[in-house]
């Protein structure tokens, strides 16, 4: 799985790197450019760089995870704190998007690698903001018997029906304007989410809502030993 994911982004990484070099070279080598032209080129370079950072973070998560479930060092973590940390980081990157976090009063302890789980949440939140163009996102935590369910619900544009069956396979491309190059691989982040959740013994799914979309995953909770 890890090898397939790495191969799927080799071309996608080269494309934004070429764009960054082209934009910055144009600014440096053409002193006659207007302020507006320079700003557009620099904003394009920044956008490409930010996307590359997310790709690198996903690739690092794949490397950290390895190929086998038993390689993940899982310790019981308070799930609400992991959600809160992910939401806080997201708000710094997307201050224009309203994010709310809801959790039960009881503390849900979930065996996990918190760094990998934050990556799952970061990918789902960014997917809602960038590809779904959501203005509001609800991050929900709830207990379901021996599982903890985490839901990311947004009010964005939803998931095209034709994409629902291929969301998590790493091949899905985002919708781009007619003059765009189609390089944004939203499927990479979602396939990383699936790999991480499965390696934790959980499951992940997605569906459309009357307005927006909902991504949800379940993780086994730490089972308290019965008192003797």
Residue 225 domain flag? no
- Residue 98 phi/psi, 5° resolution? -85, 120
Q: Does 202 reside within a domain?
A: yes
User: What CATH number is attached to the domain comprising 195?
Assistant: 3.30.565.10
C-alpha dihedral (18, 172, 115, 45), degrees to nearest 10 = 20
Residue 228 lies in a domain: no
Q: Is residue 121 part of a domain?
A: yes
Residue 227 inside a domain? The answer is no
pTM above 0.75, yes or no: no
Task: For the chain, give percent helix, strand, coil, nearest 5.
Answer: 50, 20, 30
- Determine the structural domain holding residue 18 and report its residue range: 2-220
Please give the chain's pLDDT, 228 residues, in tens: 455 555 555 555 667 788 889 899 999 999 889 999 999 999 888 888 877 777 777 677 666 666 555 567 889 999 999 999 999 989 988 999 999 999 999 999 999 989 889 989 999 999 999 889 999 999 999 999 999 999 999 999 999 888 887 888 765 554 444 334 444 555 578 888 898 899 899 999 999 999 999 999 999 997 544 333
Mapping DSSP to helix (H, G, I), strand (E, B) and coil, where does residue 76 land? strand
pLDDT digits (tens, 9 = 90+) for 13-66: 667 788 889 899 999 999 889 999 999 999 888 888 877 777 777 677 666 666
* Predicted pLDDT at 74: 87
Q: Is residue 157 part of a domain?
A: yes
Whether 181 is in a domain gets the answer: yes
- Would you say residue 7 lies in a domain? yes
Write out the two tokens for 121. 């949440």
Number of domains forming the structure of the chain:
1
CA atoms within 13 A on the CB side of 135: 1
- The answer to whether 63 and 116 are in contact (CB under 8 A) is no
**Hey, is 118 helix, strand or coil?**
helix
Residue 134, classed as helix, strand or coil, is: coil
> CA geometry: angle at 81 spanning 77 and 87, to 5°?
135
User: Quick count: other Cβ atoms within 10 Å of Cβ 24?
Assistant: 15
């Amino acid at each position: 799985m890890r090898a397939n994911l790495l191969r799927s982004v080799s071309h996608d990484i080269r494309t934004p790197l070429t764009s960054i070099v082209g934009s910055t070279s144009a600014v440096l080598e053409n002193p006659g450019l207007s302020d507006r032209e320079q700003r557009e080129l620099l904003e394009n370079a920044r956008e490409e760089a930010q996307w590359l950072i997310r790709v690198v973070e996903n690739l690092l998560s794949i490397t950290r995870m390895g190929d086998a479930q038993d390689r993940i060092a899982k310790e019981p973590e308070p799930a609400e704190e992991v959600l809160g940390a992910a939401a806080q980081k997201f708000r710094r990157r997307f201050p224009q998007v309203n994010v709310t976090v809801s959790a039960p009063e009881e503390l849900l302890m979930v065996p996990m690698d918190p760094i990998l789980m934050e990556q799952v949440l970061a990918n789902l939140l960014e997917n809602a903001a960038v590809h779904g163009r959501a203005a509001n996102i609800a991050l929900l935590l709830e207990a379901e018997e021996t599982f903890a369910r985490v839901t990311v619900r947004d009010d964005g544009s939803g998931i095209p029906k034709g994409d629902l069956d291929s969301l998590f396979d790493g091949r899905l491309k985002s919708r781009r304007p007619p003059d765009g190059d189609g390089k944004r691989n939203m499927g990479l982040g979602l396939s990383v989410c699936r790999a991480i959740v499965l390696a934790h013994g959980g499951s992940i799914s997605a569906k459309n809502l009357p307005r927006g979309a909902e991504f949800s995953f379940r993780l086994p909770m730490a089972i308290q030993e019965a008192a003797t």
